[in-house]
Structure formats: C-alpha cells, structure tokens
Structure 1
C-alpha cells in the first residue's frame, strides 16, 4: 500500500494526498514534519528533512511534483497527465511555475497563519500580498483562455496551484478581482478530493 509521509497542513503534502484521493488509491498517511518533528527513520528516506515522501512497493520518492507525475503515470495513465507530450508540457509548466508563486505567498502565510498576532509584520504581509496579486494576474490571463491549467480537462497541472489558490482565497489579505481564477477555484471546490484534502483550516 502507498504510504504518504507528511502532515496534511503542508501545501506540498496536500498536493499528493489530493491526487491519491482523486485516483481512489488506498493509502496511509503518516504525520511527520512541523509540530510532529523528524526522526532518523524518516531522514533515512529523505535526507533533505522535507515533506512529503512516499513509499510505494519499494519505490521511495520525494519532491511533491515529481510524486504527482509518478502517481499519475503509474496508477492513472493518460487520465491526469496526458500521453501527448505537447499537452502534458502545458500542464507541467504551471506545476513548475507554482514554486515562484509559493515564494510570493510565503511571508503572508507565515505571518498570518503561523505567527502570533504580536509578532506579525504588516509591511511584510502587504509586500507578499502584492507579489501574490501580480502572479494571480498572470494566472487569470491564462485561465481566460482555457478551462483548466492542464488544458481542456482537469489534470495534475491544476493541483499545485489549486492548493495555493485555496490559501490565497482564505488568507485575510487584499486581493484584486481575478474572475477567471475565481471561476477555476469554484470548479476545484466541486471535486470531493479537493474538498477533503485541501479545504481544511489553515494551520
């Protein structure tokens, strides 16, 4: 059985748990990282001391987007990651682009979710929110031309930014109007796996 190592309040763990639920894969998830800490057994699997890591029939793999590609290719070939290299690459670019967005959102998230009120830096939050807005404008333009980041149907190209979009719409920050992103987010919210694995309280 697939084992997913990592706490579910991690953006990167949510990605993997969401896809496993989409596919309907039996799996177990073991809390590690953050408030759960690390141990030597986990570090033997992932010496980077980051989450998530998976174990799957002797395969040990870390890096969340690599895990998404592996699970989609092995357990749902063609369904969530196109067999057409040109179509597949269009979704892949958004998976990689998400890392730049994550850098933009990090300070707002850490200040507003992880830090007590008295330690928050409003100026830092404002800068982060402005950077997020710039990225969301790029995403909005793309989604004005296509229904999903993966193309004409939902796929793993939608998962990384889907996780971060939920945080963006949940954080108490100033957000510009991005109607196409908002419509895409509403479509994601209708997916049971997204609701169960991603739409949990930010902690």
Structure 2
C-alpha cells in the first residue's frame, strides 16, 4: 500500500524514512530527484506538482511535504502522535519551527560544504549560516535541559525532523559549541537500531 519517492541524500526524505523505521513500517522507496530524475516526468508532476521529494503514496492517496508525511504516518499508525491536543500542537509547533526557522538557517552551510565545489565555495555564506544556526541549537539545548524529548518524557513525531537536522549539521566539517543536553538527546537516537541507515549516513 505504501510507497515513497525520494533520494536519501535529502534531509526531507530522511525524515520520512526515519519515521517509517521507528514505526516499524515496510516502506518501499524509489530514488528520485537530482541525478535520479523522475520528478519532472508528467506522471510524477501529476502527483506532486512541485516536482520535489519526498512523495508518499498510500493506495490511491498521495501526499507531499515531508513534515506532513511524518504527521500522517504517525497518525495512521496511532504512534508518536500525541493524543492530548496541547501536546499535539506543541509537537506541531516544533515541526513547523524546524522547517521554517532551523532548516532555513542551517541549509546554506550544508549547500556550501557538501553540494558546492571547493573552488566555488562561499566562506561568507557559511559564516552567515553558522551565525544564524548556532543560537537555534542553543535554544534546543536549553529546551532539552528541561525534558527528555521535544515534547515531554516520550518520543513523538516532533523529535524526528529535529534529529535529521542535527544529523546534517553535525556532519559538516566545521567546529561547533558544546550542547550537552542536545548531545544527550541525539546519543539516544544513535543508540536506537531504527536510526540506522538514516542517522549514520554520510552527507551527500
């Protein structure tokens, strides 16, 4: 019933794959995007007019936008999806913040370090990205000093996009400050067998 399109080099695809693995779902995946193509074919565009990845198909239902897919899978399986209205929207808030704030700040450094040839790399763009991103990770560290997970004392859907952001930022060849509470939380992720094949991948 389920199928995913998207390449694992995409942070947004990694979110969905990590969700599926934590939920214990069988989620076949087809590479798509960048060198793999597919996303500009008429068939793909009919299902995702943005021409981006990931794209989820569940029977005759298709869904795009990575955090929406994470929410859908968690709600579908009735796991990691908070039952309490306030906790659910706390989780929603952090997921939106990841996409609209943290990802926008951290993305330029990733693009420069990993996707840009050395001779074209923009050191100023990296520095600006670091300046914008480090306070956001400090915010996460302060938040996780107060609780075990992003929403209280249990893993929820909110932890998944943040884990993928940490994986990407910490994979960059640059120094970073100590964030002990964030490091404790992320070490817990790395100890989970369901994180393998996602959070242990090199960036590309």
Q: TM-score range by the shorter chain?
A: over 0.9
- Deviation of 1:197 after TM superposition, in Å, equals 2.1
1:102 corresponds in structure 2 to: 103
The aligned runs of 1:126-137 (5 Å cut-off) are 126-137=127-138
Alpha-carbon contact 1:129-1:173 (below 8 Å) kept: no
Counterpart of 2:29 in 1: which secondary structure? strand
- Deviation of 1:90 after TM superposition, in Å, equals 1.6
Supply the RMSD in Å over aligned alpha carbons.
1.1
- Which runs of 4 or more aligned residues in structure 1 lie more than 6 Å from their structure 2 counterparts after TM superposition? none
TM-score, normalisation: structure 2? 0.95
- Deviation of 1:55 after TM superposition, in Å, equals 0.4
Contiguous gaps of at least 5 residues in structure 2:
none
Aligned counterparts of 2:54 and 2:147: Cα–Cα separation in 1: 30
- Deviation of 1:61 after TM superposition, in Å, equals 0.5
1:64 corresponds in structure 2 to: 66
1:26 corresponds in structure 2 to: 26
Q: Deviations over 1:147-172 (max 9, x none)?
A: 10132111110001110101111111
Q: Aligned residue pairs: how many?
A: 201
Q: Deviations over 1:21-54 (max 9, x none)?
A: 1111112101111111222211111001111110
Aligned counterparts of 1:59 and 1:188: Cα–Cα separation in 2: 31
- Deviation of 1:93 after TM superposition, in Å, equals 1.2
Aligned counterparts of 1:61 and 1:126: Cα–Cα separation in 2: 35
2:76 corresponds in structure 1 to: 74
1:155 corresponds in structure 2 to: 156
2:4 corresponds in structure 1 to: 4
- Deviation of 1:200 after TM superposition, in Å, equals 0.6
- Deviation of 1:176 after TM superposition, in Å, equals 1.6
2:51 corresponds in structure 1 to: 49
- Deviation of 1:124 after TM superposition, in Å, equals 1.1
Counterpart of 1:160 in 2: which secondary structure? helix
- Deviation of 1:194 after TM superposition, in Å, equals 1.6
2:194 corresponds in structure 1 to: 193
Alpha-carbon contact 1:129-1:174 (below 8 Å) kept: no
Aligned counterparts of 1:45 and 1:198: Cα–Cα separation in 2: 28
Contiguous gaps of at least 5 residues in structure 1:
none
Alpha-carbon contact 1:90-1:151 (below 8 Å) kept: no
Counterpart of 1:161 in 2: which secondary structure? helix
Alpha-carbon contact 2:113-2:172 (below 8 Å) kept: yes
